[in-house]
Structure 1
């Protein structure tokens, strides 16, 4: 019987050298396939530049590709090698609507200052070090959509992926003149100074949801078999802080697979967060559409082999068939220790990455919420 699971990993340029040469890419793809993975999410948009030669960027900003990759096409290289060893490739637009990180807007806003997102004091919107484009601005949305469709049209990819910055906007944003006037015309008053006012949150989140609807329809018009994948912030919190209404995205069928970033540093916290999502924020949602993001490594932190296995087992006990790990280098630490854990354990038997048809079929046979809780209760009795 064929196992259908999402077994994915993100490929970054931060703290990783994988994309720095064709040889490293080839080695990494071979390694992932041997370990039991079936899909990779390589970054293609970060720090105000693409990791492929982009005519959209060339025409808009005069920057064809990230200068450190000049003369190469890392995306094309990943696609060629990954497909050869049976891995799917879903390009990851990591920076989304963020223009820069601690660079006062960087090269994007230097050329297009009118695209800046603004807080209630009129300052450039900045949150957790990231400066932001105004994702509520139709021109900015058209630019981002053009980048995504350029990849969908020009490469033999298997889908596209947004994340905690696509589609998104920090809740402190939306106070630029264009958005303020749009709100005034539609609602009849100026936006409240309280950026957490629910009506104001929902109004802005709805604009981003409509952008995602247009993105989804546009990608499917190019190829209906392309997976539209999103890796947003934790549902609920993501709405409050980044206007990501991911429950509505799923209910409206605007995303094929959702990878909520359950980046917790111990198994108890991971279980509790996932349990709450299934019971509250995502209660009743089709489980076939979920494959959580799991934190494998960041800075000095690295998940243990035992907790890695427990997280996967908990996913399966909840009826969730898959996960995506952040990020690749965690597999390589300590002489490939975590890769060996996966290869000998939960990923020992090969699994097929779900197609659009698989997802539709599996969604029709989704597990009811009461059944989920029965399985969770049995699992906790086993553990404790």
Structure 2
């Protein structure tokens, strides 16, 4: 077996002596001898801890820590308002369960940890393809359970109960993640759940020996892991859940039939033969991230204060070789604590890892800890090495997590009493933790760019920009981004299995082309790319589409599947409102649409306006509208006024009394005249090349087009509508975004334009 050590890092409260213990794990359960990972130093979870102010003196120290933190110029919108709690944790691995099967020994162990000022335990609940507790989920899968205490008790329940009595947090640890033995019942009964390498190989060599990998992209696998996690959260009074380096996938995997089909469907090409191709790595890593976002939302819906803990390897290794983009998880706001595994003997190498940039960044937003190896059965770790690594971590404001319990002092080169005395000196003061302070936090992005795809998941639209969204934990769908309307409208097939709030209220929306959408108003969780909305948003579940009598040739006539619409205009009439208003933090303050120039490449939706990404835009103001109950934030009339129009062959010769909207939802350009006299000799319908169009706002943009016959590129229509509100109304359609980046500022009521060529 290959030997590999992994590292981790902990949270920042620079002047509070944060400590965190964590033990690295690896057990070979079920008859595979307890050789733990002697022959292969494991990559395992580190638990980072937050530290609580206890006395006036510590209050003063905390104040100084905040002053220091502010000097780091954090990349996050804000630091958590509550004082940080210090994590001093230890993993209870499979090797430890010879001890923890006995109730009296559990009680003694928890009491001893409390006396030595530890504050967190991480009992393993999932490894080797089995649960360490009686699981109804596994029973339904036909997988037997045979691990019990000496008195037939539920060992996990006993550990959690005894830990809580001692004031310790108990955070169950899903050690194996997507990893299972190929010979396990689960792998044998569900061969379609396994993924493979390009050559068809189904296994890899890990610290646990030869293992197979459940396909993290398969919905049945995702549901299985989700059910296990929610079973633990529901069954036990646990303080959270922890996932380590195996909630990932080795980079060589992903060449199974299901994943190849999914990748081909989404990208139009089969996966590259090189498993380390950057786009292929990112696609798979993003899929795992999306699952973790949904999993965190599911956990928080059941237990809002639960700690969502992650214990990975150092980032460069985790992302490139295990597709585990944990730094993005931190930035997305789904991780409550991080303990980076750093199982190294050399102190210089150890320090190099705990001072990496991603650790410094993470320290500024969440408690961050370092996983330290306390020893293995056949590879003991000396007390001086442990002490030096703990002290190096403490000096940098990092907590500690030890792997694993027995190697703290029961299986060690020094006498137990000497080891215990040393741990007492490392943690001289009590640092109890309280999950009531673990409140939801916002992503640390001030801005982020999401791809806009040229094709939808369903339907046959000629051109459009489609944003990938997941609704109620459903599969990601590419939905039409419409800057000309407001509200999210999707078919019921787009909903996942997460709870939704039904209203029973049927609503109707008439689109510009005469399509009538009808369906119930509901509220559900939504994810924009990888960004979850801060709370459920209103959605129209469309169950009926038809055309108005005035426009019988609307888009509903063809019978093509409805690919959904996400309307992001700020001129809401009522519910539904622009769902981007419910993005967390700075991401809700506005957005920028960057087109693709009419190519098959992706455009971009840039969420969150900053001073940097507004450079080069020329601004035009909107008019503020009365607020509407139920619509958050300011409401604006996003039709620009005093727009100058010149339309060859008409009476519009640099007429600067026009109104205009920048609308990605409209394929072709349109000029609407209230009076036929303004049209001159022009007739309603499609304009020809003789009818050159020029639309401009002096000093802001100057757009011209020669009408042609290509939908979405140069086709331009004329309409005469005596009932129209505006004397002259212009919608240049999606082709306008081929030439201009367009900014929507919902805070200040402005629209910006930046020439792209």
- Quickly name the TM-score band, shorter chain normalised: 0.7 to 0.9
Q: What is aligned with 2:233?
A: 152
Asked if residue 351 in structure 1 is aligned to residue 431 in structure 2, the reply is: yes
Q: In the aligned structure 2, how far is the partner of 1:185 from the partner of 1:251?
A: 29
Q: What is aligned with 1:376?
A: none
What's the CA shift for 1:253? 0.7
Q: What is aligned with 1:188?
A: 268
Asked if residue 304 in structure 1 is aligned to residue 385 in structure 2, the reply is: no
Compared CA separation, residues 354 and 304, structure 1 to 2 (3 A): farther
What root-mean-square deviation, in Å, do the aligned CA atoms of Structure 1 and Structure 2 show? 2.2
Q: In the aligned structure 2, how far is the partner of 1:355 from the partner of 1:8?
A: 15
Q: What is aligned with 2:126?
A: 45
Q: Deviations over 1:238-278 (max 9, x none)?
A: 11111110110000011100111111123222111112x2x
What's the CA shift for 1:16? 5.4
TM-score (norm 1): 0.86
SS in 1 for 2:141: helix
Q: What is aligned with 1:222?
A: 302
Asked whether the equivalents of residues 143 and 185 of structure 2 are also in contact (C-alpha less than 8 Å), the reply is no
Unaligned runs of 5+ in 1: 365-384
Q: In the aligned structure 1, how far is the partner of 2:205 from the partner of 2:250?
A: 7
Asked if residue 329 in structure 1 is aligned to residue 409 in structure 2, the reply is: no
Q: How does 1:1-150 map onto structure 2 within 5 Å? A: 1-2=53-54, 4-14=85-95, 17-66=98-147, 71-100=152-181, 104-128=182-206, 129-150=210-231
Q: What is aligned with 2:589?
A: none
What's the CA shift for 1:57? 0.4
Compared CA separation, residues 115 and 271, structure 1 to 2 (3 A): same
Q: In the aligned structure 2, how far is the partner of 1:113 from the partner of 1:5?
A: 43
**Which of the residues 291, 301, 314 maps onto 2:369?**
291
Asked whether the equivalents of residues 243 and 311 of structure 2 are also in contact (C-alpha less than 8 Å), the reply is yes
Asked if residue 177 in structure 1 is aligned to residue 257 in structure 2, the reply is: yes
Q: In the aligned structure 1, how far is the partner of 2:291 from the partner of 2:302?
A: 17
What's the CA shift for 1:235? 1.1
Compared CA separation, residues 69 and 92, structure 1 to 2 (3 A): farther
SS in 1 for 2:174: coil
Q: What is aligned with 1:199?
A: 279
Compared CA separation, residues 290 and 262, structure 1 to 2 (3 A): same
Asked whether the equivalents of residues 90 and 160 of structure 1 are also in contact (C-alpha less than 8 Å), the reply is yes
What's the CA shift for 1:325? 0.3
Asked if residue 232 in structure 1 is aligned to residue 309 in structure 2, the reply is: no
Compared CA separation, residues 187 and 92, structure 1 to 2 (3 A): same
List 4+ stretches of structure 1 deviating above 6 A. 67-70
Q: In the aligned structure 1, how far is the partner of 2:362 from the partner of 2:167?
A: 30
Q: Deviations over 1:66-120 (max 9, x none)?
A: 47889431110001111111111000011111111xxx34211111111111110
Q: In the aligned structure 2, how far is the partner of 1:149 from the partner of 1:180?
A: 29
Q: What is aligned with 1:263?
A: 343
Moved more, 124-133 or 221-230: 124-133
Unaligned runs of 5+ in 2: 1-52, 59-84, 445-757
Compared CA separation, residues 267 and 354, structure 1 to 2 (3 A): farther
What's the CA shift for 1:319? 2.3
Q: Deviations over 1:133-177 (max 9, x none)?
A: 1122111011001000001011101111111112x1111110010
What's the CA shift for 1:221? 0.5
Compared CA separation, residues 48 and 360, structure 1 to 2 (3 A): closer
Q: In the aligned structure 1, how far is the partner of 2:97 from the partner of 2:239?
A: 23
Q: What is aligned with 2:334?
A: 254
Asked whether the equivalents of residues 54 and 65 of structure 1 are also in contact (C-alpha less than 8 Å), the reply is no
Aligned residues: 354
Structure of higher CA gyration radius: 2
Compared CA separation, residues 214 and 151, structure 1 to 2 (3 A): same
Q: In the aligned structure 1, how far is the partner of 2:169 from the partner of 2:279?
A: 40
Q: Which has the higher contact order (CA 8 A, sep 6+)?
A: 1
Asked if residue 164 in structure 1 is aligned to residue 245 in structure 2, the reply is: yes
TM-score (norm 2): 0.45
What's the CA shift for 1:121? 1.2
Q: Deviations over 1:321-370 (max 9, x none)?
A: x1110011121233323322011x12111112263636879x99xxxxxx
Asked if residue 339 in structure 1 is aligned to residue 420 in structure 2, the reply is: yes
Name the one with the larger strand percent.
Answer: 2
Asked whether the equivalents of residues 125 and 131 of structure 1 are also in contact (C-alpha less than 8 Å), the reply is yes
Compared CA separation, residues 220 and 298, structure 1 to 2 (3 A): same
Q: In the aligned structure 2, how far is the partner of 1:342 from the partner of 1:300?
A: 22
Asked whether the equivalents of residues 91 and 121 of structure 2 are also in contact (C-alpha less than 8 Å), the reply is yes
Compared CA separation, residues 108 and 78, structure 1 to 2 (3 A): same
Q: Deviations over 1:205-259 (max 9, x none)?
A: 1011011101110111011111011111221101111111011000001110011
SS in 2 for 1:14: helix
What's the CA shift for 1:15? 6.1
Compared CA separation, residues 354 and 170, structure 1 to 2 (3 A): farther
